[in-house]
């Protein structure tokens, strides 16, 4: 509240999942990746404010770090907004020997973000 009164500074949004679409044609990979044409990778961004709310999916350590940061900001950084849950994607592509491969890659899509 005091910050808002002083400078009217805009508060940064809280930590959450943001949209990020990776299009394979942007990097010219659509000639060897058959499917999908791209995928929703997502990313995590935002503040981990004190006090940490439950929906920010924080660890006990992040709660302590955020608490210390709130009183001693110069010495201790804020907890990080990072992916806490990831899911795999399937990719159908041609390898360097022209063989068709279907592979599942783990931890490619951000499903959830949190303060860690």
Residue 5 tokens read as: 């009164």
By CB under 8 A, is residue 58 in contact with another protein? no
Q: Which of residues 77-96 bind another protein (CB under 8 A)?
A: 84, 87-96
**Are 109 and 42 a contacting pair, CB within 8 Å?**
yes
CB of 44 to another protein, least distance (A): 11
Contact 78, 50 (CB under 8 A): no
Q: In angstroms, what is the minimal distance from the CB of 72 to another protein?
A: 27
For residues 37 and 24, the answer to whether their CB atoms sit within 8 Å is: yes
43-52 exposure pattern, b = at least 16 Cβ within 10 A, e = fewer: ebebbbbbeb
- The binding track of 16-55 with respect to another protein, each residue x by CB under 8 A or -, is x-xxxxxx--xx---xx-xxx----x-x-x----------
Interface residues toward another protein, by CB under 8 A: 13, 16, 18-23, 26-27, 31-32, 34-36, 41, 43, 45, 84, 87-107
């Amino acid at each position: 509240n005091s910050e808002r009164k002083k400078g009217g500074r805009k508060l940064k949004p809280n930590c959450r999942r943001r949209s990020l679409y990776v299009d394979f044609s942007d990097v010219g990979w659509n000639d060897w990746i058959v499917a999908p044409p791209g995928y929703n990778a997502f990313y995590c961004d935002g503040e981990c404010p004190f006090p940490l709310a439950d929906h920010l999916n924080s660890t006990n350590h992040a709660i302590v770090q955020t608490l210390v940061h709130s009183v001693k900001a110069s010495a201790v950084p804020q907890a990080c907004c990072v992916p806490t849950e990831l899911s795999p994607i399937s990719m159908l592509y041609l390898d360097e020997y022209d063989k068709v491969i279907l592979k599942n890659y783990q931890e490619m899509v951000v499903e959830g973000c949190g303060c860690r």
